[in-house]
Amino acid sequence: MSKVEKTRDNLLKCLCKKCPTYSFTCKMMSIPGNIILLINPEKEKPQAETLFCAYTKSQCIEEKKGCLCTQCEVYKENGLAKKYYCLADGGE
């Protein structure tokens, strides 16, 4: 698997925040951290709650409700083959 770059461009392309698996509560809790990440994508703390294929799995998403990864530009550009990067590091 190619390594997905932690860039502002990729953060903006990521479809996770539109995904049904990304729960409303998780979305609300993650807003401050995700904004900080857009300013400095290489900074891994606070926890990246987006672009899970480049960072690590989520710390608040728990239940599968469908995955949009296969429709995502980052997915196509990087030849990714798995799904649910929010639930397992490296996807499943």
Q: Is residue 67 a contact point for ligand SF4 (CB under 6 A)?
A: yes
- In whole angstroms, the minimum distance from the beta carbon of 8 to ligand SF4 comes to 13
Q: How far apart are CA 62 and CA 49, in angstroms?
A: 13
Cβ contacts of 76 within 8 Å, gap of 6 or more: none
Q: Is residue 68 a contact point for ligand SF4 (CB under 6 A)?
A: yes
- In whole angstroms, the minimum distance from the beta carbon of 47 to ligand SF4 comes to 14
Q: Is residue 37 a contact point for ligand SF4 (CB under 6 A)?
A: no
Sign of CA dihedral 56, 54, 84, 49: positive
